[in-house]
Chains A and B, each alone.
Chain A
């Protein structure tokens, strides 16, 4: 089976940095996704990591360590609009049927 753990909630200040951790257990590894979901809206794709290391996309970066079953999403220069849930997900098998974690709700305060 698959198991994904991420913190339930985090609070940070506008302009700061927040790191959202995700640990996973899978029988095989086929990459890891991060999605952003604003309240009442559809999840939107942020990143996909399949190799170890850090991938940077503007203010957002995602890191993967396959040996540790660990990933994090780093949000820099936080803005109020970054208040959302961030979902970590891994494919059930080779493909895009995803198992999601419970999501981390990030609240950005002024």
Chain B
């Protein structure tokens, strides 16, 4: 139990639709990162939010966007869904800002795009 909660746990969408995934970080953690994990692969960094601003982005197109709220919770939005977007989306929070430190992962939201 890491104290990071994500919703929904599972969802099914069709190509072209939009999806919003939510994450509540562990209490006191001010940094939230999002990762995409395809089946049988390691997580890939999407982006990180620190103090409500994007603080670094991986190799993902602009249709992947996010937000961080004053209470440090976060949303990941994906527009114009493609079949390859089917994956487990992991949220991770950390306590000490974007500096080196342990990440605490949520259980993830499993997205299936048909």
Which residues on A are within 8 Å of B, measured CB to CB?
4, 30-31, 41-45, 48, 50, 87, 89, 91-103
Contacts and interface: CB of A to CB of B under 8 A. Distances in A.
Interface string B41-83: 1111100100000001010000000000000000000000000
B106 A102 contact: no
Contacts of A91: 100
A100 B101 CA distance: 15
A99 B100 contact: no
Given A30-B100, A96-B99, A96-B103, A42 B44 contact: no
Nearest to A91: B100
Interface of B: 2, 4, 31, 33, 35, 40-45, 48, 56, 58, 90, 94, 98-108
B103 A45 contact: yes
A87 B42 contact: yes
Interface of A is mostly: loop
A28 to B, nearest CB: 12
A95 B100 contact: yes
Contacts of A87: 42-43
14 contacts: A4-B42, A30-B100, A42-B90, A43-B105, A48-B102, A50-B100, A92-B58, A95-B99, A96-B98, A99-B45, A100-B35, A102-B40, A102-B42, A103-B40
Given A41-B107, A96-B100, 11 more contacts: A42-B107, A43-B90, A44-B105, A87-B42, A87-B43, A95-B98, A96-B33, A96-B99, A97-B56, A98-B33, A103-B41
A73 to B, nearest CB: 14
Contacts of A94: 99-100
Contacts of B105: 42-44
A44 B84 CA distance: 26
